[in-house]
Amino acid sequence: MLSMKAIIKNYGPINVLNAVDLEVRNGEVHALLGSNGAGKSTLIKVLGGLVTPNSGVISLDGNSIDVSSPKRSLSAGVAIVHQETDLVPELSVAENIFLGMESSVTGAENGFLSRINRTLLKNAASELLRRYGLDVAPGAKVADLAPGAQQIVQIARVLALESKVVIFDEPTARLGQKDRDVLFRIFATLKNEGKKLIFVTHYLDEVMLVADRATIMRDGKDVATLETAQTSVQEISRLMVGDDVRLPSRKSSQADDEIVARFDNISDGRAFAGVSFQIRVGEIIGVLGHLGSGRHEISRHIARSRSNGRRSETRHVGFVPEDRRGEGIFPQLAVMENVGLGLLTKKRMFSLMPRAKMKAMTDEYIRALQIKTNGGGQVISTLSGGNQQKAIFARALINEPSLYVIECPTVGVDVKAGAELHAAIFSLVERGASVLLATDDLDEAIRLCDRILIMRNGRIAQELLPQDYSRQALVVAMGAG
């Protein structure tokens, strides 16, 4: 058993962890849940050696372990699949999986002048990927992979460590349904091997599907540990936020006959071809598809283009990327600067940023989107994931474009922040904007979209209307059924 007892972490006067307890049994998937800012990220960073607690005791299988650094934590048998990938983009999949562990595969010592036998690495990676059913080419360069495929490589790298405790920090956030199913089969395999799995996620339906128990945190405390078979999504949500979460509803479909964007037989020459569709004013169109379907690439293509409808002469396309850390925020800049960068779309590259206007507009969006921050001057990387996502939304909103391309808007955010972001999307279309929503969340697509386009093998395989919506229908249409 993994045991964390009375873990306390303070940052000056701020109490982030207040005597938190966590126990994970052998052969168990234990969900660690809480709203953004509840303390769960700090707790797993303590276990992973990334944060030093003020006090507390950590033991594994009855013995105290040293987690004073990431290296010592790993040596003690603890590994983390991080939400944000830390891969080397210019190296291959195989090289990333065994980076720093080459000698375990080749039998030769690592050294500055050593030659790495890449054939052996590729063969070993192929065997590992095949063993766990992970569909990614070992010789592919990581920089060429979509975010979901990069997450699979991140998972494979941790599996190669064969640790006793594996922490999965939002592992499904960038995975399609097919790859989520593969991951959950991996969970079952690791459980059978007696591993202790900590599963951090905001998708409560996944918790009910794969977790044995769940510990809920709120305001730096562990408020409950429950058997998932004896609780419900509603009860967990209430414990997470201290109240029932009300999901936003749309007044009615706002779409009219005016076309804001039309795409005829578009192709990127690699991931998709022969794609044609149009987006009407006030419409939310969903784009779904498994990894490799072209879903990711087509949303990027449209985000880079300008629509050719009648209302597109002067307005750019607002873009919210799915990779918040890698592509969304500028982590060392303030919230105001991250939001205000949206104003540069109307300026020449080297024009001075209009700071007074930027501050006023940022303050307005902080209020409108309920961004929890000490003010526009706070460094954005110090915000919770949900509030970072809201700031990225604000940047896209600041020029009031007629078309938005929004990728996986609620990835890595809690249920309350997700509801607020959905409300923001409804507000956009109610004011006459249009949205292309590329998502892996089936429930999100069903709740938000007027139409859903299913991508398969680089083409639109099917178009579904609300009367056809169901999770099963979407899974079958994407080719997983």
* Residue 242 φ then ψ, to 5°: 80, 10
Confidence of residue 112 (pLDDT cuts 50, 70, 90): very low
Give yes or no for residue 468 having a pLDDT over 70: yes
Let me know how long the chain is: 481
* Whole-angstrom distance, CA of residue 39 vs CA of residue 69: 19
pLDDT digits (tens, 9 = 90+) for 318-375: 899 888 777 888 888 999 988 888 776 554 443 556 677 778 888 998 988 888 888 8
* Whole-angstrom distance, CA of residue 398 vs CA of residue 243: 32
- 365-368, long-range: CB < 8 A, 24+ apart: 365/339, 365/391, 365/394, 365/397, 365/398, 366/335, 366/394
Confidence of residue 303 (pLDDT cuts 50, 70, 90): confident
* Whole-angstrom distance, CA of residue 286 vs CA of residue 32: 30
User: What pLDDT was estimated at residue 61?
Assistant: 94
User: What pLDDT was estimated at residue 204?
Assistant: 86
Q: Tell whether pTM > 0.85.
A: no
Q: What is the mean pLDDT of residues 131-142?
A: 88
Spatial contact of 173 and 200, defined as CB atoms under 8 Å apart:
no
Confidence of residue 79 (pLDDT cuts 50, 70, 90): very high
Give yes or no for residue 270 having a pLDDT over 50: yes
For the record, the structure tokens of 398 come out as: 């600041």
Select the more confidently predicted residue: 316 or 252: 316
Percent of the chain with pLDDT over 90: 37
E strand or H helix at 42? helix 40-47
* Residue 306 φ then ψ, to 5°: -115, 135
* Whole-angstrom distance, CA of residue 394 vs CA of residue 404: 12
User: What pLDDT was estimated at residue 107?
Assistant: 58
* Whole-angstrom distance, CA of residue 360 vs CA of residue 362: 6
Neighbouring CB atoms inside 10 A of 399's CB total 16
pLDDT digits (tens, 9 = 90+) for 86-110: 889 899 999 999 887 777 666 555 5
Spatial contact of 287 and 478, defined as CB atoms under 8 Å apart:
no
* Whole-angstrom distance, CA of residue 256 vs CA of residue 309: 13
- Range with the poorest average pLDDT among 251-260, 365-374, 459-468, 471-480: 251-260
At 18, is the secondary structure helix, strand, or coil? strand
**In sequence order, what DSSP letters do the residues of 313-357 get, joined into one string?**
SS--EEEE-S-IIIII--TTSBHHHHHHGGGGGGS-TTSPP-HHH
pLDDT digits (tens, 9 = 90+) for 175-200: 777 788 888 989 999 999 999 999 99
Mean pLDDT of the chain: 85
Give yes or no for residue 41 having a pLDDT over 90: no
* Residue 180 φ then ψ, to 5°: -65, -40
User: What pLDDT was estimated at residue 181?
Assistant: 86
* Whole-angstrom distance, CA of residue 260 vs CA of residue 281: 5
* Whole-angstrom distance, CA of residue 154 vs CA of residue 142: 10
At 211, is the secondary structure helix, strand, or coil? coil
Confidence of residue 307 (pLDDT cuts 50, 70, 90): very low
pLDDT digits (tens, 9 = 90+) for 367-411: 888 888 888 889 998 887 788 888 998 888 887 888 999 998 887
Spatial contact of 167 and 82, defined as CB atoms under 8 Å apart:
no
Q: How many CA atoms lie within 13 A of 141 on its CB side?
A: 5
> Which amino acid, 248?
P
Burial 306-344 (b: 16+ CB within 10 A, else e): ebebebbeebbbbbbbbbbeeebbeeeebbbbbbbebbe
At 455, is the secondary structure helix, strand, or coil? strand
* Whole-angstrom distance, CA of residue 44 vs CA of residue 41: 5
Q: What angle do CA 28, 228, 475 make, to 5 degrees?
A: 90
User: Crossing angle of helices 355-368/385-397, nearest 10°?
Assistant: 120
pLDDT digits (tens, 9 = 90+) for 222-268: 999 999 999 998 888 888 877 666 667 666 665 667 898 899 999 88
Give yes or no for residue 165 having a pLDDT over 50: yes
Q: What is the mean pLDDT of residues 150-162?
A: 88
Query: What are the structural domains of the chain?
Result: 2-241 (3.40.50.300), 259-477 (3.40.50.300)
